[in-house]
Amino acid sequence: MPHARAVADIGGVIGVWPNTADFPNLDAMTMCIKRMADVVGVAHVGLGTDMLGFIRPPVFTGYAQLPTLATALLKAEFTSVETGQILGGNYRRVFEATVG
């Protein structure tokens, strides 16, 4: 994961992409998010999808699933603040730092 650490070292966010080839369900995706947060810190992890360009069907198929993913993150022992960071807060921080 040296690339992930390099992104985090400059303040960026690594998006975990919800490809069913990697994750059979949201719980498996949540565990990957947890592993990534353990490596680079919660402030550098996000939901990696714009809902376009999937080669295989995504396990996260629409933004209506955000509450389900949030619940899974909370069950994985992320705090509510950390869950908010992962589900958009980290990208907002980078966006605001970039455009002012």
- At 45-71, the pLDDT tens digits run 999 877 777 777 888 888 899 999 999
Provide the pLDDT for residue 65: 92
| Residue 96: Cβ within 10 Å count | 9
Enter the tokens of residue 74. 């909370």
Calculate mean pLDDT across residues 4-23.
92
Provide the pLDDT for residue 48: 87
Calculate mean pLDDT across residues 72-90.
97
| Residue 57: Cβ within 10 Å count | 10
Domain total in the chain: 1
| pTM beyond 0.85 | yes
Domain boundaries, position 32: 2-99
With H, G, I as helix, E, B as strand and everything else as coil, classify residue 71. helix
